[in-house]
């Protein structure tokens, strides 16, 4: 694959054979984010578990102290008082069956997170095949199926992120923007990494964390030397 001049120059700053201390790695990933826009910074954690087994899944949610740098649009499927609570909390879209139909008939996905109440899951389930592949299906484990819709909306707006294992046993999660600087990125990294460590499945055997790296949208990966 042909690499751009900017990427090649940025890669010269990183020793690919070395694992850096987290603080140094955060500064490096900021220094190598040289695009003209505010690049996102993403954490990649490869785990020694097998995602094919239900008892080795790693998934959870956490509110990052400095958020992700992106304001998420929230759709709340609710009715009555719960709909009013969601609106008051700042949800971008609030409604019931009209939004189910809008998604189904118009292929509308102008939102980043969908929150609903348990009583509305029957309706939401009708479009599960549409929401699921896009990672938008509400789930109790991620706090998006709840009676406390106001709390859910507030946490999402404050920087709540979900982390989950993919099919290759790696967690990919955004931890901020280049403009955050290394200190804020470090705070966010510590919060999410601690959560991943605490989420270690009882069925996991051997080395839990295989490797950890961070990268910017357009920059090279930087490996971290982490203590478990």
14-65: per-residue pLDDT in tens? 888 899 999 999 999 999 998 899 999 999 999 999 989 999 999 998 999 9
User: What DSSP letter does each residue of 118-142 carry, written as one string?
Assistant: GGGHHHHGGGHHHHGGGT----GGG
Rounded to a whole number, what is the distance in angstroms from the first to the last CA of the chain? 35
Residue 206's alpha-carbon distances to 49, 134, 194, 216, 226, in angstroms, are 9, 33, 19, 30, 17
Closest CA to 213 of 26, 57, 62, 9: 26
81-107: per-residue pLDDT in tens? 999 999 999 999 999 999 999 999 999
Q: Would you say 49 and 56 are in contact if contact means Cβ atoms under 8 Å apart?
A: yes
Question: Which pTM does this prediction carry?
Answer: 0.79
Closest CA to 92 of 111, 120, 68, 70: 111
Burial class (CB in 10 A: 0-12, 13-18, 19+), 145: buried
Q: Cβ contacts of residue 204 below 8 Å, gap of 6+?
A: 47, 48, 49, 56
Asked whether the predicted pLDDT for residue 164 surpasses 80, the reply is yes
| Cβ atoms within 10 Å of 55's Cβ, excluding its own | 10
């Amino acid at each position: 694959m042909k690499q751009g001049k900017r990427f090649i120059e940025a890669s010269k700053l990183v020793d690919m054979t070395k694992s850096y201390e987290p603080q140094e790695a955060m500064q490096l990933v900021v220094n190598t984010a040289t695009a003209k826009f505010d690049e996102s910074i993403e954490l990649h954690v490869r785990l020694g578990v097998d995602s094919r087994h239900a008892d080795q899944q790693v998934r959870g949610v956490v509110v990052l102290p400095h958020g992700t740098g992106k304001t998420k649009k929230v759709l709340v499927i609710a009715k009555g008082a719960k709909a009013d609570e969601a609106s008051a909390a700042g949800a971008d879209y609030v409604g019931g069956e009209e939004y189910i139909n809008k998604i189904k008939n118009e292929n509308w996905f102008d939102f980043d997170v969908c929150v609903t109440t348990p009583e509305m899951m029957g309706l939401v389930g009708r479009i599960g095949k549409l929401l699921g592949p896009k990672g938008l299906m509400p789930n109790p484990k991620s706090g998006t199926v709840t009676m406390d819709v106001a709390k859910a909306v507030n946490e999402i707006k404050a920087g709540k992120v979900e982390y989950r294992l993919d099919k290759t046993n790696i967690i990919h999660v955004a931890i901020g923007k280049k403009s955050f600087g290394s200190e804020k990125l470090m705070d966010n990294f510590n919060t999410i990494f601690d959560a991943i460590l605490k989420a270690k499945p009882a069925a996991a055997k051997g080395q839990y964390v295989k490797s950890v790296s961070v990268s910017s949208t357009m920059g090279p990966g930087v490996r971290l030397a982490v203590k478990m």
